[in-house]
Amino acid sequence: MNQSIAGKAYVLGDNIDTDQIIPAHYLMYNPAIPEERKQFGRYALIGVPPAQAGLPIGNIPFVDQADESNTNSVFRVIIGGKNFGCGSSREHAPLALAEAGVQAVVAESYARIFYRNSVNGGYLIPFEWASGGHVEIATGEEVEILPAENMLRVIGSGKTYPLRSLGDVAPIIESGGIFNYAKQVGML
């Protein structure tokens, strides 16, 4: 992967579970219907209590709920701590983040099912910190992820943080998900 990912960061803490990412009562929408699929983006991260989100510059909503037609967030990168995506095996969680416009999550660790759903569905790229860093980045800061260099850079300060290599999942991510990958390598 050579293409960088840049945008505003939204900082969260440890143990962000799938019910916080997309609460169960918003699963009434059908992701196979394009207009309903967008609603997953509208309600992404609506279940995260403000005290659990690392919001040092105020209670900034992930998606502005005041505009009822808005299904997108201004944030492109989620910054997390340990055990991101824990809880149920809800495959709608990475879908909701992707529908909101998130391109990547950078966390200390992931719940295995969230990680695999992100990769297999081609929704977003789950990067891992090589060492800490999430506590030094604030919501709203512009960041850039350089996958080829396994690096996250805070644009304003120029400070960089090493990321773990994507390893064996990189070709799946580059293909846009497990089914596209299987087709490309002749498995389907």
Give me the CATH number covering residue 176: 3.20.19.10
Distance CA 108, CA 86 (A): 13
Distance CA 144, CA 84 (A): 20
Give Cα separations from 157 to 53, 61, 135, 139 (angstroms): 22, 24, 15, 14
Structural domain range at position 115? 5-184
Q: Give the total number of structural domains in the chain.
A: 1
Q: If DSSP codes are grouped into helix, strand and coil, which group holds residue 61? A: coil
pLDDT at 56 (0 to 100): 46
Would you tell me the crossing angle of helices 34-42 and 92-100 to the nearest 10 degrees?
90
Q: Is the pLDDT of residue 58 over 70?
A: no
DSSP at 116: H
Q: Is the pLDDT of residue 59 over 80?
A: no
Give Cα separations from 100 to 22, 82, 121 (angstroms): 11, 22, 15
- Which pTM value belongs to this model? 0.91
> What's the whole-number average pLDDT of the chain?
89
In terms of Cα–Cα distance, which of 67, 73, 82, 94 is closest to 10?
Answer: 73
- Do 163 and 80 meet the contact criterion of CB atoms below 8 Å apart? no
Residue 75 contacts by C-beta under 8 Å, 6 or more apart in sequence?
A: 7, 8, 9, 10, 62, 100, 101, 102, 139
Distance CA 164, CA 45 (A): 25
Confidence of residue 39 (pLDDT cuts 50, 70, 90): very high
Model confidence over 97-132: pLDDT tens digits?
Answer: 999 999 999 999 999 999 999 999 999 999 999 876
Q: Is the pLDDT of residue 183 over 80?
A: yes
Side chain identity at residue 81, one-letter code? G
pLDDT at 41 (0 to 100): 93
What ranges in 22-177 are assigned the alpha helix state H? Answer: 34-42, 92-100, 112-120, 170-175
Confidence of residue 48 (pLDDT cuts 50, 70, 90): confident
**What mean pLDDT do residues 58-75 have?**
81
Q: Is the pLDDT of residue 52 over 80?
A: no
Model confidence over 136-154: pLDDT tens digits?
Answer: 898 999 999 999 999 999 9
| Beta pairing partners, 11 | 79
In terms of Cα–Cα distance, which of 97, 163, 102 is closest to 130?
Answer: 163
pLDDT at 32 (0 to 100): 93
pLDDT at 147 (0 to 100): 94
